[in-house]
Amino acid sequence: MKRYTRAELGAELRARGIPISTSKLNKMCAPAINQGPPIDCWWGRRPLYDLGAAIAWAEALLRSEPSTLKNLPSNQDAASPAPTAAAPHGAGADRQANANESATA
């Protein structure tokens, strides 16, 4: 039985018509996300994957319709006034404030 590294798995999935980039596969397998294909076994610290299980995982991600878009700005957000410019800060702002005080004195 052949086991695949993540890079090999991504190439094999693309060859079978599943349009997933190596970057997307790496992100989905990251511990913080943990939504990647099931790990078959480990070679040291490197996870190895079974092709059949990975294909089943990838096919489960396929949808008949596009995902809904969330977190898009609403029309109300577009109509709200633009934020005002913040007061200058930092050493340059202090010098400018001191210069303004001196000029008025």
The answer as to whether 23 is a domain residue is yes
Structural domain boundaries, residue 33: 3-61
The answer as to whether 74 is a domain residue is no
Of 65, 54, 74, the C-alpha closest to 4 is 54
Residue 51 has pLDDT above 70, yes or no: yes
Q: Which pLDDT does position 66 carry in this prediction?
A: 83
> Judging by beta carbons within 10 Å of its beta carbon (0-12, 13-18, 19+), is residue 17 exposed, middle or buried?
exposed
Q: Which residue has the tokens 């094999």?
A: 12
The answer as to whether 16 is a domain residue is yes
- Residue 42 or residue 62, greater confidence: 42
Confidence band, pLDDT 50/70/90 cuts, at residue 94: low
22 contacts 6 by C-beta, under 8 angstroms: yes
Tokens of 94: 């202090």
Number of domains in the chain: 1
Of 89, 13, 94, the C-alpha closest to 51 is 13
Q: Which pLDDT does position 71 carry in this prediction?
A: 54
Mean pLDDT of 70-98: 57
The answer as to whether 92 is a domain residue is no
The answer as to whether 42 is a domain residue is yes
The answer as to whether 93 is a domain residue is no
The answer as to whether 79 is a domain residue is no
The answer as to whether 52 is a domain residue is yes
What is this structure's pTM? 0.62
Coil vs helix vs strand at 4: strand
Residue 54 has pLDDT above 80, yes or no: yes
